[in-house]
Structure 1
Amino acid sequence: MVSKPLPILYQSADLVAINKPHGLLVHRSMIASDASEFAVQILRDQLGQRVYPVHRLDRKTGGVLLFALTESMNSIMQQQFMGALVDKKYIAIVRGYTPDEQTIDYPLRNDETGVSQEAVTHLKTLRQTEIPLPFGKHPTSRYSLVELTPATGRMHQLRKHMAHILHPIIGDRPHGCNKQNKLFKEHFEMNTMLLHAQQIEFVHPVTSEVITITAPFQAEFERMLGALFGKM
């Protein structure tokens, strides 16, 4: 799927960040046996050295993905992520009109352990749109462009939280709306998830410098922004 080099957003002696394409797995997984390429493998070959993903992005989520280049930095940065010392910002296109701002404080069950965990996401609405696309009994369709800032780091947190407040992310399976996903596939020929990891910010463990890494939208996300919201 990915034949060209991964876009590098930031690189130092011990860290590197890429703009991960939608649809690319971070690393090999038994769950996704259909995949033949992985970000870890591609970046390793691209840089000619071992790389360590310090956090995760879902397969269908694009955007900033950070890797360590040494085992020691990998351990330090994983602790920063687990300790909520890394600020993360996501952009998503969701169904319906979201409120201007909202804090979603809703515990989520860990899919692996079954244990319920505290989960908090801050939402800010950036744009809203109504397009002449019939959906169900409605003659038009409404969507919102939102900024999502997770205060915790639970698996599929943003996807589950947006589904919980009845504004699912377009293209999300299984947490989203299958009818909306079908509509986008048929009308727009879109088959990805409209969730973009736009930015991370952290203090570099060695230099104490505040590092801010921002990823531009990828082509499919840009196309849907234009189709739904016009010129941004």
Structure 2
Amino acid sequence: MSFLYKMLRKKNITLNGKKADGKEKLGKDDTISVYFSDETFEKFANKHVKAASTEDVDVLSEFENAYKKYQNIDIIYEDDHILLVNKPAGILSQKADKNDVSMNEWLIGYLLSTGLISQDSLATFRPSVCNRLDRNTSGILICSKSLCGAQKMAEILKDRSLHKYYRTIVIGSMNEDASISGYLYKDEKRNTVKLFDKIPKGKNIKESDFSQIRTSYQIINKGTYSGNNEKILLTELEVLLHTGKTHQIRAHLSSIGHPIIGDSKYGNSKVNGLIKKEFGLKYQLLHAYRLEFPQIDGELSHLSGKTIVANVPSLYNKIEDKIF
């Protein structure tokens, strides 16, 4: 901010081609231009991106190591602007801690190793993951390779015109397809969420802390798991995520009495124990299975109406075959 004020004082910022003092109110189609030297640009680029200078060996090796660590990531679609991968369970989409290794680092490592980007290009644009999946949720992860790709993916994710479908197996026998809605509250300290039919009333309640959510599901299969002399009814679902909030699918299905198998936060510990003993499932069995793109104009118009599918993991297949 201090830099910008300094630039205003030095008359290096113009509004519609005329010198500005920063007190103007902007209107539609106004154009702001900022003039500064190459030296100043490089200073800011290196400070914020840490990629173009020779001093940043540690940062670059982080990308390289991430790519080597996750070399078997399945790329299911790629063009000049975006990359879609089938993320395995157990890998973070983005860092939660500075020492984490996530798909973000893998992405840059992959693009650097294949020559699709250079160290210098990282000073002006850094490719990144566009959507988030929980660490133990597998499936389609959208990554941007270009600024155009990042902007368009952000747009269709925000306006919800990109349809995201998940596959999962839940406890209990479900009899009909349905759409469910409610309000979600996130407990940051416990990293869990609570669901409500409507926003609760109270002196300390802030409406802004509650997000409206909607989830639809369609029944794919119904079956029975027999283990430890017990018969457990299970249902396989395809879930359409209308809104994308933390743990939405997991908490929403649990709230109607049909938790996902393997889910330690919102699930049934007894059933999870039986499934884990036989199949080795240690996390929620939830897979981002399919993307359906809307009509898109411009440079990414080739994605219009395209459907992308990510095969379910082998463990999912194993459980699915046994039960259904």
TM range (shorter): 0.7 to 0.9
Q: What percent identity do the matched residue pairs reach?
A: 26
175, 180, 197: which one aligns with 1:104: 180
Q: Please tell me the residue identity of whatever aligns with 1:158.
A: I
1:1-232 alignment runs, 5 A limit: 2-30=69-97, 36-48=100-112, 49=117, 50-112=126-188, 115-134=209-228, 139-203=230-294, 204-205=296-297, 206-208=299-301, 209-229=304-324
Q: Is the 8 A contact 2:183 2:210 kept in 1?
A: yes
- Alignment partner of 1:170: what SS? coil
Q: Distance in 2 between matches of 1:125 and 1:11?
A: 31
Give unpaired runs (5+ residues) of structure 2.
Answer: 1-65, 118-125, 189-205
CA RMSD of aligned residues (A): 2.2
Q: Distance in 2 between matches of 1:213 and 1:132?
A: 34
Q: Is the 8 A contact 1:5 1:42 kept in 2?
A: no
Residues 44-86 of structure 1, C-alpha deviations (whole Å, 9 max, x = no match): 2122245311111111111111111123421331121111111
Q: TM-score, normalised by structure 2?
A: 0.64
Give unpaired runs (5+ residues) of structure 1.
Answer: none
Q: Is the 8 A contact 2:81 2:148 kept in 1?
A: no
Q: Distance in 1 between matches of 2:142 and 2:70?
A: 20
Q: Is the 8 A contact 1:54 1:74 kept in 2?
A: yes
Q: Is the 8 A contact 1:201 1:213 kept in 2?
A: yes
> Between Structure 1 and Structure 2, which shows a larger proportion of helix residues?
2
Q: Distance in 1 between matches of 2:131 and 2:141?
A: 7
Q: Distance in 2 between matches of 1:131 and 1:184?
A: 9
How far is the alpha carbon of 1:3 from its aligned partner? 4.0
Q: Please tell me the residue identity of whatever aligns with 1:61.
A: T
Q: Please tell me the residue identity of whatever aligns with 1:68.
A: S
How far is the alpha carbon of 1:111 from its aligned partner? 3.9
Cα distance change of structure 1 residues 111 and 70 upon mapping to structure 2, 3 Å threshold:
farther
Q: How many residues align?
A: 223
Q: Is the 8 A contact 1:121 1:150 kept in 2?
A: yes
Q: Which has the higher relative contact order, 1 or 2, with Cα contacts under 8 A spaced 6 or more apart?
A: 1
Q: TM-score, normalised by structure 1?
A: 0.87
- Alignment partner of 2:169: what SS? strand
Q: Which moved more, 1:104-113 or 1:93-102?
A: 104-113
Q: Which moved more, 1:111-120 or 1:11-20?
A: 111-120
How far is the alpha carbon of 1:134 from its aligned partner? 3.9
